[in-house]
Chains A and B, each alone.
Chain A
Amino acid sequence: MEIDFKHKQAAHCENGVVANLMTYNGFTVSEPMVFGIGSGLLFTYIPFLKVNHAPVVSYRAMPGIIFTRFATRVGIKIKREKFRNVQTAKARLDENLQRNNPVGLQVGVYNLPYFPDEYRFHFNAHNMVVYGKKDGLYLISDPVMETVTSLTEKELEKVRFAKGAFAPKGHIYYPTSFPEQLQLEKAIIRGIKHTCRDMLAPVPVVGVKGIRKIAQLIRKWPKSKGVKIANHYLGQIVRMQEEIGTGGGGFRYIYAAFLQEAGKLLNNNQLLELSKEMTLIGDQWRDFAVEASRIYKNRSNSVAVDQYDHVATLLEDIANKEEVFFKKLKKAI
């Protein structure tokens, strides 16, 4: 069976799945709107954890939470299920497709055959929609891809039961009930307030303080870890910021797009102005990436320490701008 499902490419997989499932159910919402209402924007440094042998920073809220918050705030209900047993997981998926219900799945990226080899890492918080089954193949709408694709039963089972951090355990989810009309206005305000609270949180590794923490670490790394490792770490930060999914500038452009849409919807000119400001901050993140890449592009061991200080200063400047920005944003709504 094949469900008449409209695939629309998105920057980020989770927003994309939500936006596409909403559209299927007759509610058109944009990717930035999902991201903004779900308070997706964040900055966190996760101490003690290493991925690909480098420290972890994240520019977004925890996997899954964007949809959960979005759902509560606009008044839809979601059903989520995880499985221990591979057969039950498959049976539940097939039942839903049988009922013409397209579902979201959390999967691991490492065994996704349609991803370029270089992008296949053990990352388990990817999201996709399954919208049918034809000739033994599952029909897949992966929001970061331009077009739809398909996976065999075995391939899908492998990615649904990937192991490691954030193991999906066959995680399946779909909306089950909707309000008559989406109340976006209130949801937008709640979403914005939450993001302001996160970004200004009095926690040393979160939000604006987290950015400052990373800047501090960047100054230290060449001395404490040596240039080679410092460059590997720096490269990892830029990848988290810019790799597939962020829409550019560590989600800052998507957030600016959200503020623009929200400003129009709420007739709030301040939000329109703040959207422009966020775009400029996004540009600063891009500049940071460019300057950082100047350091790690030569892999020799002789990088002047002041270059690290320079990019650290750029980050501190961003932190200052974002601090002012989120204080203003809090007042604007």
Chain B
Amino acid sequence: MTLGMKKNEVPQDKSNLESANFKELCYAVDENGEYTTELSTGWSPKTIALNNAIEALNERISASKQRVIDLKVSPLEYYMELHKMDLPILASYVGIWKWRVKRHFRPAVFKSLNNKTLQKYADVFDITIEELQRTDL
């Protein structure tokens, strides 16, 4: 009976790690059944999962972009998606209650925000207030 993942069976599939010249450490057994470690360049089942997650994220970003262009939401929502955030994360970064951030997604409310609040958002997204206010993304 073959037992466990052998050192020479540690998957070396193409993955997103390659671009950063990055290898991860895996545990595997050698020919005597002794545990040892081996570097792996990646494994397809998880590369597919990661790529799907990124694709789903990009879909969210472009859907949000369209909503901004259609003036249905404020650009805040788009930048939140662009930075892979969700509402609790964004609220925590700007230090504003979640329900208030959610209100700021409404274009009319967003327009009435003062510079101090806008600056908070702009700082988190690392852009200027002018950039933040543009709806022609």
Contact = CB atoms under 8 A, between A and B. Distances in A.
Contacts of A245: 24
Given A164-B88, A165-B88, A235-B49, A257 B20 contact: no
Interface in B21-37: 22-29, 33-35, 37
A232 B92 contact: no
Interface in B14-66: 16-17, 19-20, 22-29, 33-35, 37, 39, 43-46, 48-50, 52-57, 60
Given A144-B24, A248-B26, A280-B4, A119 B84 contact: no
A282 B53 contact: no
A248 B35 CA distance: 13
B3 A232 contact: no
B27 A289 contact: no
A116 B46 contact: no
B4 A118 contact: no
A281 to B, nearest CB: 10
B86 A53 contact: yes
A27 B19 CA distance: 36
B27 A254 contact: yes
A238 B46 CA distance: 6
Interface in A275-291: 275-276, 279-280, 282-283, 286, 289-290
A247 B10 CA distance: 11
Interface string A63-76: 00000000000000
Contacts of A167: 92
B129 interface: no
A10 B25 CA distance: 6
B4 to A, nearest CB: 4
B97 interface: no
Contacts, number: 133
A292 B45 contact: yes
A245 B23 CA distance: 11
Nearest to B33: A276
Nearest to B88: A164
Contacts of A253: 4-5, 26-28, 35
Interface in B78-96: 83-86, 88-89, 92-93
A317 to B, nearest CB: 17
Nearest to B17: A116
Contacts of A235: 48-49, 52-53
Nearest to B94: A163
Given A248-B5, A286-B5, A118 B54 contact: yes
B46 A163 contact: no
Rank and list the top 10 A-B pairs by shortest CB-CB distance, nearest first: A293-B45, A279-B4, A235-B49, A257-B35, A253-B27, A116-B20, A163-B92, A164-B89, A118-B16, A242-B46
23 contacts: A11-B26, A53-B56, A110-B83, A115-B20, A116-B16, A116-B20, A121-B84, A122-B84, A122-B85, A146-B22, A164-B88, A164-B93, A165-B88, A236-B53, A242-B45, A253-B4, A253-B35, A256-B27, A261-B35, A282-B5, A283-B4, A289-B45, A299-B52
